[in-house]
A and B are shown apart, each in its own frame.
Chain A
């Protein structure tokens, strides 16, 4: 198709409509071929390429399912209260308050304000990490030759900076992150064992307990010992559901979590939200 004229260039660009790529967002999300819920409830349907990132603002009471399609995804995650990004995921409080260094079903992802941002409501992987954070430019350059976002081996932090910028946030807004699908275990002497992936097709489902901004980077875990930058697609599906309420087993599961839900409910009530 001739692109030497504006008319030709326009026609050429428009002819790309409908092209399918392996990794892409499906818009509207309801067009996703195999929805895990009523199709009309889907609000986000995307396949994130290895070495790429995505972001979304999700309403309170949304379920967010991350799936490691081929077994080498690693979903690095940051959460912020939408429109109040100074309230954000606090990894230290998340592990300390719940007396557990590992992530899994039933765990609350806590903010620095003693409230719940999201809960982990299902987990078929069990290989996650709250200790090592994501990868950085300096180390990726040492390990893979490059770590810049457009390179074949982007660092997680560099991608988080871009996702943050698109939500009006700066590098100083990026606290330590969590990662799903590539695990680490702590030995008695404090040293770490990289346990890697539990295999392809496994998923983690989060439920948002406030309106939150989600930043996701799909890059290799920083402790992945493999020489090659190994990162495969991550499926992201989100649908409208309900936030955790009094009476849900999760609400009463632990005294610390119970108080976190109470704090969250009180905050939302005071704002006239829920």
Chain B
């Protein structure tokens, strides 16, 4: 009796989530498997496909002179954009954690850029803001700061597109805000009684208790940054001189511009492996710096 009841429950459950399962299987899992297969072929959309074994992976490391530089740019971008974004998100979250009159309005306003997100429209806006005769340089000129070639200088362009991502701090900010709300007020009271300064309390109470959220944000943003495409594609088109040629753009170029779809699939899988390893490393490292209130035993 009990057994069959459990069975029907499971069946109903499966039925209800079947739209998602079917969607996932067809639009994500199947393409995923197919791309793994393609990565061992010379699939090009237009010509007959041949199985070529590991050739794509060999080409990547031995012949493709763009692959390693592009990985380098991607890492550099991640190292710039992710910490900046998290620091900025935390700062805004702390400000918005105060009790003001219109605090909810402010919270919404600060979340807005994230809703607009990394869309193409925003990237185009970015291009116009940061071009040589754009608004940013005009504002700088009021302060008598010489114009910066934000998009055209190989040393600066990567920073410019990093700012675009930092600007979309909303989702991290909301998580930080939720985390801040969870910190028991009595800890701060105890700190105050003991005469701790605000900075001391931030370092010894706020940050340690936020570490689970920091970990989550760090992992999510790192994954996102390693896969970034829109900003580089729309704002700088990978240039100048490939200084913003992120691996995501390279995959696109190889796949859709040069029609080496098999090769692009292989690149994707290498990127996947890199992301997986990095994520595991971050999790491994978290043992030494993430603090769970219950000691992480539950």
| A in complex with B | no
